[in-house]
Chain A
Amino acid sequence: MAVARSRSKLVWDGLSYVVLILLAFICIAPIAWTFLTSIKVESDIVTRTMHYIPPRVTFDNYVKLWNQSSYPILVINSLIVTSVTVLICLLTGTIAAYAFSRFSFKGRTQLMLGYLVVRMFPAVLMIIPLFIVMREVGLLDSTFGLAVAYTSFLLPLFVWMLKGFFDAAPRELESAARIDGSTRLGAMFRVVIPIARNGLLATCVFVAIAAWNEFLFALMLTTSQGSRTWPVGLQLMVGEFQLPWGMLAAGGMISILPVIVLFAFVQRAMVAGITAGAVKG
């Protein structure tokens, strides 16, 4: 009996590993393949027989991308757009999330639902009205305009996520802070935000990554190099008669670096933030 049970456990464990390894492979293989392509010589990329491991290793693609293309400008634009998006969300979303979490006012539920509804529509549907609005207010083809556009669909996510973290912070702490001499806003900054800081960080990272990787809005709302972000820039490198695989792969690798660094830095805080309130502390 015991032997049979341990054998079936072994089989299950084995199957679990197979599935997990397969999933990990599906996730990691494209990234590994991109990296391998980025360090290949151009003539080794398009060949009759496939070279999985590069016969010759070179970093020329990276050097060329950085020195001969507009890639550095694209990255800087992306950094600006991402920072501005996070900043707008942080300034407006934090206060909004606090209000939704703490006050009961007329139309509160409807507003929260409205925020969700915005997320339900496909981005393509939003893009034409947004394009017209941006053109009218003169924010077309500007990093700030793009950041505002991103805010339109990332702010609801920010508010919903952060509201959950604020809900988890006990109200009695604010009451205590108010008796201790804080104003309502003071209690929010001195007590609630420090308690929910992991959640706040996690929410900011989610928004930052979404803004950093966004493609469709950036493609539609930017027209010149001065405001174009890296996903669009990379796509535009694909010309009619040439397809610089090596440089594209190098661009891809560089662009995921900030995401990896961001994750590495805040991984601990994010895990703590995401699971906050899950168990009684």
Chain B
Amino acid sequence: MAAVELRDVKKSFGSVKVIDRIDLVIEKGEFVAFVGPSGSGKSTLLRMIAGLETVTAGDILIDGQDVTFAEPSDRGIAMVFQSYALYPHMNVYDNIAFNLRLSRFGKPEIDARVKEAARILRLDELLARSPAQLSGGQRQRVAIGRAIVRNPKVFLFDEPLSNLDAALRVQMRLEIERLHRELGTTMIYVTHDQVEAMTLADRIVALDEGKIQQVGRPLELYARPGNQFVAGFIGSPKMNFLPGSVVSTSGASAVLSLDADRNAMFERVLDGARPGAAVTIGARPETLSVFTSAEEVSAGMLTLPARIETMERLGNITFAYLDIGAPEMITVQIMGFSELSDQQDVVLGLRPDQLHVFNASGAAMTGVANA
């Protein structure tokens, strides 16, 4: 039985559609991340699962039970908010015990459960403190503690690490990962940070404009994005997009060219290619190479003349931003240190087998089915 099931779920505010026909099955014990830019509807969808937002149409099932119209407290869920949402007038102990008291548990039971949660989250020393006396990371641990004492069927996380600084975020990420391993509970995690989604999730649900764009394992989304949105959203730095066109087709394979240089042609097996059709070619920054002269280029590579606009040197990695005469800069990721300099004329090398092809409506043409 699925832990959470969404059936044709819709949500509108007046005439504005926020969530549009979402079907999704989340298995027991799975860690699923909802990712998408601001306004993609990911938080609204999570709040609908929590029961904090009404559902315009469709059904929500938790553990096989229809909870579409159930109160948040009757759904067997626990939620961790971005702002921690700790009750400022209660100390840590009371914050964690709040739900248990409302559920009329006995005092010894409450005490045992709070102490157990505190032990798991290393909050033992902080139980008597008020939220105001805690650091950001400690507050988030209390918020998680408040969620785990309930033994929920599903944990919901709404951008829980967004308010933390970078170092603490990594630490808390590991902590959430450990928690999932130890508790084995189903978790749904909303984030706009694709690094969090890639590292934590068993499956990622990429959302945009209230619709599911693609569902799949993190590396699946990375290697075989179903459309241009997912290709651009997953991966950092983001995928480069170059305009191109279909030159000719023969059977399932097609010859394509880049608009930046009509002579740069390559052959690929494509779905539904028509000669003359405009396409978008995607290239991940780490698959691109920069050469100082055409002689250095490896065999089989497509080349484009380019000029380096600027370089970003991070020590272990270097990013080069190249101008190829297109409106957008091309980002190239170079491992280690690079001797290249700004405003230098170079040759950009692309590996044809690593390129993604999208049709005019943004769908992947390289044979990627929606997982």
- To the question of whether A and B form a pair in one complex, the answer is yes
Task: Show the binding face of A for B, using Cβ within 8 Å.
Answer: 170, 172-173, 175-183, 186, 191, 194-195
Q: Give, as a whole number of angstroms, the nearest-CB distance from A184 to chain B.
A: 9
> Quick one: closest B residue to A172, CB to CB?
B85
Q: Is B88 an interface residue (CB 8 A)?
A: yes
Asked whether, in the complex, the Cβ of B73 is within 8 Å of the Cβ of A194, the reply is no
Pairs A–B under 8 Å by Cβ, sample size 21: A170-B85, A172-B81, A172-B82, A172-B83, A173-B85, A175-B47, A175-B72, A175-B81, A178-B51, A178-B73, A179-B52, A179-B78, A180-B73, A180-B98, A180-B146, A180-B150, A181-B73, A181-B99, A181-B102, A195-B88, A195-B89
- In the A-B complex, the 6 residue pairs with the smallest Cβ-Cβ separation, listed nearest first, are A181-B102, A180-B99, A181-B73, A176-B85, A172-B85, A194-B89
Chain B residue, CB-CB nearest to A184: B71
Question: Counting CB contacts under 8 A, is B190 at the interface?
Answer: no
A-B contact count (CB 8 A): 54
Contacts of A180 in B (CB 8 A): 73, 98-99, 102, 146, 150
B98/A178 in contact, CB under 8 A: no
A27 to chain B, nearest CB (A): 36
**Interface 1/0s, chain B 59-82, versus A by CB < 8 A?**
000000000000111000111011
The residues of B that contact A177 with a CB separation of less than 8 Å are: 87, 98
**B103 contacts the other chain (CB 8 A):** yes
Contact: B89 with A176, CB < 8 Å? no
- Provide the residues of chain B in CB contact with A176, threshold 8 Å: 79, 81, 85, 87, 146
Cβ–Cβ < 8 Å partners of A172 in chain B: 81-83, 85
Residues from chain B with Cβ under 8 Å of A194 in the complex: 87, 89
Residues of B near any A CB (own CB < 8 A): 47, 50-52, 71-73, 77-79, 81-83, 85, 87-89, 98-99, 102-103, 146, 150
**Across the interface, which residues of B come within 8 angstroms of A179, CB to CB?**
50-52, 72-73, 77-79
B residues less than 8 Å from A175 (CB atoms) = 47, 50, 52, 72, 79, 81, 85
CB distance A181 to B79 under 8 Å?
no
Chain A residues within 8 Å of B103, by CB: 181
- Chain A residues whose C-beta falls within 8 Å of the C-beta of B88 in the assembled complex: 195
Query: Measured between alpha carbons, how far is A176 from B90 in the docked complex, in Å?
Result: 14
How far, in angstroms, from A84 to B1 measured CA to CA in the complex? 58
Query: Is A191's CB under 8 angstroms from B102's CB?
Result: no
Q: A176-B79, A180-B73, A180-B102 are known contacts; what are 10 more A-B pairs with Cβ within 8 Å?
A: A170-B83, A175-B47, A177-B98, A178-B52, A178-B71, A178-B72, A180-B98, A180-B146, A191-B87, A195-B89
Distance from A29 Cβ to chain B, minimum over Cβ atoms (Å): 43
How far is it, in angstroms, between the C-alpha of A179 and the C-alpha of B79 when the chains are bound?
Answer: 7
